[in-house]
Amino acid sequence: MAFLDRVIPALTIIVTTILVALPWGMAAENRFFLPLLPLIVIHYWTLRRPELVAEWWVFLAGLSVDILTNGPIGYWALIYLLGFAAAQLSTQLSGDGLLAKWGLSGVTLMGLTAIAWAVSSLYHFEFADWWPYASAAVAAALIYPVFGVVLRGLSLSRPQSRNALLKRGL
């Protein structure tokens, strides 16, 4: 069981990365939230089980999305690594409450989507349309709790609570 528990984060990152590349038959302006789905999984596992998410898995997931969607190489890899770093930094900030983690993920997704818009604008040497980015960030923030429920059900063991204020009594 311990082996399976250690493999589940990597497997869920791989599966969502593959799902992003599938042809879903959606309009182009509605598909932009799909590359944010692996970012949700990366953020979820990094907040809950940071020792099980390796940087190179995050980089390979982003590089795979770039290759499978015929995007600029390194674009999503950069965004995913920034999301991973933001989640690593916020592990101390996130409380044990689900609402706190959802709010933190929403702020992170909004910030990373703004960075994705800025990088895209720099790449094309013109301001990209901000509306698809904004709607994708809102959709991803709303989808996060659904992913949280599913991913929590996949976890076989519960991590120990990281309470910085826990002190031994006399």
Distances (CA, A) of 166 to 129, 159, 161: 48, 16, 10
Residue 30: pLDDT above 80? no
Rg (CA), the chain: 17
What count of residues does the chain have? 170
> What pLDDT shows up at residue 75?
93
> What pLDDT shows up at residue 93?
67
> What pLDDT shows up at residue 66?
93
How much is the average pLDDT of 74-82? Answer: 94
pLDDT tens across 101-122, in order?
777 888 888 999 999 999 999 9
Q: Note every long-range contact of 89-92, with CB atoms under 8 Å and residues 24 or more positions apart, other chains counting.
A: 90/47, 91/46, 91/47, 91/50, 91/162, 92/162, 92/164
Tell whether pTM > 0.85.
no
- Structure letter (DSSP) for residue 34: T
pLDDT tens across 37-74, in order?
999 999 888 888 888 888 998 999 999 999 998 889 99
- Could you tell me which residues come within 8 angstroms of residue 14 by beta carbon, excluding any fewer than 6 positions away? 61
Distances (CA, A) of 106 to 87, 109, 147: 12, 5, 13
Burial 62-72 (b: 16+ CB within 10 A, else e): bbbbbeeeeee
- Structure letter (DSSP) for residue 31: S
Distance CA 7, CA 13 (A): 10
